[in-house]
């Protein structure tokens, strides 16, 4: 993100280390109707001869889409108490609550009605100054909520662990100091640990992992270990291991060292994590070649594409890992970002080498950019997605979609874009799709879109629920 002062956009020493200068003006916002069906296209890969997988190529019929359940506005730019872009929108669901964090605000909603139950700046929530890159998740194994963010010195992390399953009943808060420059932090968990992986922007650089003893953190004591795996730039998100019964193993899925591109993804297994010498086992899985995208359009101009080619969320259910990222493919000359997704079998504790089950691409067509995708898997193996979409005829919009186990893909616009995205030097950092643990079939997605006043309220967020049919 970077700060906004009045109508001038200037530098912010934070996650993206971006500098942008821009004078906003009054723009005529023209609503462009959307509703075009999205397509999941095949990815053919040399991996098919080595690691069997399936790949789907279907198109949602016109007029047939995902049935959206709850849908309510999340925190927008004017309500963020930040004066910065992008929002880094994310949310988690548990019990009867949805909790959303953005730069630099937290809000608790009633899951069913969308009523706001709590709305606070992160500084107030943590009781300490927060710089940004916040993230919230619900640990259904422990019935607890976790919230983290970079501290104001950009040399430490703030972590909050809820007292119980109700996020209104208070949190234990911790300040983990002197860990480098903990950019782009992402949390995860298994049965016995909470993990945070961040990109250390200090001179040594690369992914760094905090392994936190869960039982201690739940009771008000912080015990953690810091480790550095093989080099990985920007993101190495830890899995949220929802039905882990054993502990002892944590999984990560990322690109294979860089976000410039590649033809493999890296699946990392971590053991012995409560020590100064954890063990990392790396599997490079061949996939279709991908490459950093550099073009996205909106009516009357372009939209930033950074960052892309990086995973931001990894979910684990029934021995499967699922993740996604935006990146370009050879089909259009490596130009527009598309939504790439991967489903990987890790056989529970990893007794067998990770195997690619399925890979695919969300591709609504030539010239349509798909950005900030995220994915989760329900108890039947159906996948739920969200992504941001734009083109020369569609303002930046939030979409949701499902891919069922029969290969049928459906998609609907959850929040249509209504105006020109003026402050678009950076598109965002992540979105989230999570499965409601109360029924194991309802997905909740949080993402960004642009309203009709994109020159002043420069971004909005939406939270929508939906199920696969």
408: how many CB neighbours lie within 10 A of its CB?
Answer: 17
Q: Are strands 8-9 and 90-94 parallel, antiparallel or unpaired?
A: unpaired
Closest CA to 455 of 23, 3, 21: 23
Which domain range does residue 152 map to?
2-467
What is the reported pTM?
A: 0.89
Question: What pLDDT was estimated at residue 64?
Answer: 62
Q: Which helix (H) or strand (E) holds 252?
A: strand 250-255
Q: What is the mean pLDDT of the chain?
A: 87
Torsion of CA 386, 154, 208, 196, to 10 degrees: -50
pLDDT digits (tens, 9 = 90+) for 220-270: 999 999 999 999 988 899 999 999 999 999 999 999 999 999 999 999 999
What is the total count of domains within the chain? 1
Closest CA to 431 of 442, 447, 419: 447
Question: What pLDDT was estimated at residue 161?
Answer: 98
Classify each residue of 42-76 as buried b or exposed e, where b means 16 or more C-beta atoms within 10 Å of its C-beta. Answer: bbebebeeebebebbebebeeeebbebebbebbbb
Question: What pLDDT was estimated at residue 163?
Answer: 98
Q: Tell me the two tokens of residue 172.
A: 């234990």
Question: What pLDDT was estimated at residue 214?
Answer: 98
Torsion sign, CA atoms 334, 338, 339, 345: negative
Q: What separation in angstroms does the CA of 107 have from each of 80, 117, 196, 372, 373? A: 10, 7, 22, 21, 22
Please spell the DSSP secondary structure of 350-389, one letter per residue: HSS--EEEEEEEE---TT-EEEEEEEEE-TTS-EEEEEEE
Question: What pLDDT was estimated at residue 35?
Answer: 32
Mean pLDDT split into 10-residue runs, the chain, 469 residues: 32 27 24 33 30 35 73 96 92 98 98 97 98 97 98 97 98 96 96 97 87 98 97 93 96 96 97 96 97 97 95 96 98 97 85 91 96 98 98 98 95 96 90 98 98 91 97
SS3 438: coil
* Residues 157 and 147 sit within 8 Å (Cβ to Cβ): no
CATH number assigned to the domain comprising residue 396? 2.130.10.10
């Amino acid at each position: 993100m970077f700060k906004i002062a009045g109508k001038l956009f200037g530098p912010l020493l934070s996650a993206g280390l971006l500098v942008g200068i821009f004078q906003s003006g009054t723009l005529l916002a023209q609503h462009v109707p959307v509703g075009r069906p999205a397509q999941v296209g095949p990815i053919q890969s040399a991996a098919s001869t080595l690691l069997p997988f399936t790949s789907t190529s279907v198109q949602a019929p016109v007029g047939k889409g995902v049935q959206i359940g709850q849908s309510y506005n999340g925190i927008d730019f004017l309500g963020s108490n930040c004066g910065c872009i992008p929002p880094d929108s994310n949310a988690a669901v548990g019990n009867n609550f949805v909790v959303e964090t953005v730069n630099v605000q937290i809000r608790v909603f009633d899951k069913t009605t969308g009523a706001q139950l709590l709305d606070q700046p992160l500084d107030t929530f943590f009781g300490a100054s927060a710089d940004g890159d916040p993230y919230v998740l619900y640990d259904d194994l422990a019935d607890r909520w976790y919230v983290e963010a970079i501290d104001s010195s950009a040399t430490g992390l703030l972590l909050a662990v809820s007292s119980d399953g109700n996020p209104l009943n208070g949190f234990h808060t911790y300040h983990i100091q002197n860990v480098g420059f903990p950019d782009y932090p992402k949390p995860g968990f298994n049965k016995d640990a909470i993990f945070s992986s961040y990109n250390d922007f200090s001179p040594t650089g690369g992914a760094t992992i905090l392994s936190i003893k869960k039982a201690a953190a739940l009771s008000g004591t912080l015990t953690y270990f810091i480790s550095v795996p093989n080099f990985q730039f920007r993101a190495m998100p830890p899995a949220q291991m929802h039905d882990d019964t054993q502990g002892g193993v944590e999984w990560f899925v990322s690109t294979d060292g860089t976000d410039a591109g590649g033809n493999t993804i890296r699946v990392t297994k971590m053991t012995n994590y409560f020590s100064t010498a954890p063990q990392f086992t790396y599997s490079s899985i061949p996939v279709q070649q991908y490459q950093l995208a550099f073009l996205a359009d909106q009516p009357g101009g372009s939209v930033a594409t950074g960052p892309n080619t990086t995973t931001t969320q990894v979910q684990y259910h029934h021995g499967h890992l699922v993740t996604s990222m935006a990146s370009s493919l050879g089909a259009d000359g490596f130009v527009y970002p598309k939504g790439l997704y991967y489903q990987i079998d890790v056989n529970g504790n990893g007794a067998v080498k990770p195997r690619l089950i399925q890979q695919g691409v969300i591709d609504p067509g030539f010239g349509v950019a798909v950005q900030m995708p995220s994915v989760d898997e329900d108890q039947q193996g159906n996948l739920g997605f969200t992504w941001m979409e734009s083109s020369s005829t569609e303002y930046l919009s939030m979409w949701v979609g499902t891919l069922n186990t029969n290969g049928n893909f459906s998609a609907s616009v959850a929040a249509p874009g209504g105006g020109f995205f003026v402050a678009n030097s950076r598109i965002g950092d992540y979105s989230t799709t999570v499965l409601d643990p109360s029924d194991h079939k309802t997905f909740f997605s949080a993402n960004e879109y642009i309203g009709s006043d994109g020159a002043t309220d420069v971004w909005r967020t939406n939270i929508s629920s939906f199920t696969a049919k």
